[in-house]
Structure 1
Amino acid sequence: MGLELIADPHSDQAGRLATLQSLDILDTEAEAEFDEVVALASRICETPISLISLVAEDRQWFKARVGMADPETGLDKSICAHAILEDGFFEVEDTRNDPRTVSNPLVAGEPNLRFYAGAPLVAEDGLPMGMLCVLDDKPRKLTELQRDTLRVLARQVMRQIELKQALKQQETLRAEMDHRVKNSLQTIASFVRLYARGVSDPAAKPALEAIQRRIDATGALHEELQNSVTGSVVNIQTFLSRVCSHLQAAAGGQVVIVQSCEAFHLSHDQASAIGMIVSEFAANSLKHGFPEGAAGEIAIAIEKTVDGHQLICRDNGLGSNGAALVAPPSRIGGLGQSLMQAAAAQLGGELETTLSAGGSYLKVAF
């Protein structure tokens, strides 16, 4: 039967392997969109085997496969390694009559492959990464329609691989951007804190505190976005925990801030709105509900409802009993109320507030 034949390296083997490595596709988990392609190719070409085969330096690895148990083989068993050396579609009607395939162990022995046809997976730089191929255990010939179908499917497979890599790179850049923004905000927050300690102006101090709250909430949002899988949604449970942690640090030890929220995801815009409302409510409670270091509790909860969710903020401070102690509304306080109303609108809900002898209460259903 002769010696086993391993295909020669591609004429630009170094460049080809570098491109294949940059695609970050080798040894990844199975994905439905690729599994569907090989299932369709096998069905249309009426073959028991179909593969998305990527030819690496010393092996061929199957991103998706039908009719082949092994996830990869050595190059001594790779017909695809020969196929990528050809220009365009590659078809061997009888593998036992072709010197490139006759000594292949999968041809000479089990599963006795007798037919191979494949369309190349060509990257944007024009180099072949592998093949979308179909195989059979008897000699045969594809129709022109079947060949065209494999060509189209191969192009779609390659575009899908490149798209996934582009999205990964975008996510990496986004995570780095969120990381840098978060660090920058933390630096700014430190300067604001230092400056606020030396300020005694009764108008400036609330303004600096308001700036501090908004910086902390935005920093918490970017920290959560940095850790997000998609970068477009935020885990509200961990985000709320971060926001409340910053607020607790500002509150000191007399007032305890507790939070309750199950894990679910919202867009970063919705998360930002929630952070704004929670921060402003807590600031208002600390200022008016617990004057002169009074002890108490601020509770923040996001609950699931039949129609969606609701944000509930409450405290057990002075409430309506402290109305006589409250100074006339300041521009800072008025801005905070306006921001909360705008944030509620951004969530698609309306702000409901109540002041009673038992404390203050806020709800936004969204």
Structure 2
Amino acid sequence: MLDMNDIAVDPETVANRHRLAALRSFAIDGVDDRKPFDDIARMAATLTGQPIAIVSVVESERQWFLARHGLELAETPIEQSICRHIIHLDSVSVIEDTRTDPRTRENPLCLGDQGIQFYAGAPLVTDTGQRLGALAVLGHAPSSLTGFQTELLEMLARQVMAQLNLRRALRRSEMMRREVDHRVKNSLQSVAAMTRIQARAVTSDEAREALENVSRRINTVAALNQQMYRSGSDREALMQPFMSSIFDLMRDGLPDRITLSVDVDEITLDSRKAGAVAVIVNEFVTNSVKHAFNEEAGTVTVSLKNRPGNEIELICRDDGPGLGEVLPSDRLGLAIIDSAIDQLNAVKTDMEGPGHGIRVILRP
């Protein structure tokens, strides 16, 4: 029987496997904006006085260049990579004359008058010690670096890694945000679906109406979550598309005799304020549809406008004869409006007729 302990494991192979796994985690081949890396390569060439600078990525079968200055070549076979010889080292490696160094003297890139005759590279090292490639400068004649130039090359290599770390962190943050958004959306959809099922099953008109109100409020929260996801922010919402989605949901549940008129400026609010505005609008429209029109045709108007002094004005009004008597079951909606206004630290005034209306002023 084969004893697993008898199987030889090449430490170099295992180490390279870990290195390549770390390299994949940075998804460097997916980097679209390479200008910051090109700028670093150009600066490295300028500060060292060499005509060529590269940011190399060393894979298993090839070496390719995330950035390059003074070089048209985009990649090489791994056998022709000079960087592969130095990435395991801890500091800048200098090959003053590649024609005499055993690592490079037979490299096709180093042959001929226009071949690479000078090389200096600083390894790109992750926080866990894995080596991804190098920031290197190259020349067509034997040369050397001063101590100061060596320090600059090391510093610029750290800047390359800082850029790569930042981009990986942002990508992971976006992946996490998408996962959270997906789970929140699914949860809200499940709760809304159960609420609708319960609303159809109950026999009490009051209970059915309460469940329908809950469903509308869940839809408002779902619309806010979706808008924040689309805007790429977990703190702010663009009010035009956000309110548009809220109004679309409302229109689906309005009787044909009710018209909803909307006018929203280009306004950005933090998510807390955006949610509070949506709650006010949702409750006002719900109350108006239920009480203001006495089964007659009518219009509910909502506007959200910029005002002088960085103030924002929300107006909700209907053109019905009035709300009439407020029943105990309706007081919850009015209390929710007042609570949302308190949350906004806003000022509400009732508007004179015809119809019923409120003006809410949001101050900076």
Instruction: Tell me if 1:327 matches 2:330.
Output: no
1:246 and 2:243 are equivalent in the alignment? no
Residue 295 of structure 1 is aligned with which of 294, 297, 302? Answer: 297
String of CA shifts for 1:220-250, please: whole Å, max 9, x gaps: 1222334443444434333222212222223
Per-residue deviation, 1:28: 1.6
The answer to whether the 8 A contact 1:182-1:220 is kept is no
State the shift of 1:71 in Å: 3.9
Cα displacement (A) at 1:118: 1.3
C-alpha spacing 1:160/1:230, structure 2 compared with 1 (3 Å)? farther
CA, structure 1 residues 98+357, in 2 after alignment: closer, same or farther (shift >3 Å)? Answer: same
More divergent stretch after superposition (272-281 vs 223-232): 223-232
CA deviation after TM superposition for structure 1 residue 260, in Å: 4.5
2:39 and 2:236 map into 1 onto residues whose CA distance is: 28
**What is the total number of aligned residue pairs between the two structures?**
350
Q: Which residue of 2 aligns with 1:339?
A: 339
Deviation sequence 1:64-113 (CA, Å, 0-9, x none)? 33323344344354322222244432111122222322344443258533
Deviations 1:32-75 (A, max 9, x none): 44344333323332333222211123332322333233443443
Query: Residues 63 and 299 of structure 1: is their aligned pair in 2 closer, same or farther, counting only changes over 3 Å?
Result: farther
Between 20-29 and 162-171, report the one with greater CA deviation: 162-171
Q: 1:42 aligns to what?
A: 45
Query: Closer, same or farther in 2 for the Cα pair 1:270/1:246, shift >3 Å?
Result: same
Question: What corresponds to 2:239 in structure 1?
Answer: 236
1:184 aligned partner, one-letter code? S
Work out the CA distance in 2 between the residues paired with 1:221 and 1:63.
39
Q: Which runs of 5+ in 2 are unaligned?
A: 1-11
SS at the partner of 1:113? Answer: coil
Shift of 1:363: 4.5
The correspondence for 2:288, drawn from 274, 285, 288, is 285
Q: What is aligned with 1:17?
A: 20
Q: CA deviation at 1:199?
A: 4.9
Report the CA distance shift for 1:17/1:266 in structure 2 as closer, same or farther (over 3 A): farther
Q: State the alpha-carbon separation in 1 of the partners of residues 272 and 340 from structure 2.
A: 14
**Cα distance in 2, alignment partners of residues 134 and 338 from structure 1:** 67
Q: Report runs of 4+ in structure 1 exceeding 6 Å deviation.
A: none
What is the identity, as a one-letter code, of the residue corresponding to 1:132? L
Give the match for residue 257 of structure 1: 260
Q: In structure 1, what is the equivalent of residue 129 of structure 2?
A: 126
> Aligned partner of 1:337: which letter?
I
Q: Which amino acid aligns with 2:86?
A: A
Secondary structure of the structure 2 residue equivalent to 1:221: helix
CA distance in 2, matches of 1:261, 1:42: 53
TM-score (norm 1): 0.82
SS of corresponding position for 2:29: coil
* Structure 1, unaligned runs of 5 or more: 1-8
Helix, strand or coil at the partner of 1:95: coil
Alignment CA distance shift 1:341-1:150 (3 Å): same
- Residues 142 and 361 of structure 1: CA distance in aligned 2, closer, same or farther (over 3 Å): same
Measured on the aligned residues, the alpha-carbon RMSD in Å equals: 3.1
State TM-score, norm by structure 2.
0.82
Is the aligned partner of 1:208 residue 2:208?
Answer: no
Task: Provide the C-alpha distance between the structure 2 equivalents of 1:360 and 1:17, rounded to a whole number of angstroms.
Answer: 65
Report deviation, 1:121: 0.8
Determine what percentage of the aligned residue pairs are the same residue: 34
State the match for 1:151 in structure 2.
154
Offset, 1:217: 1.0
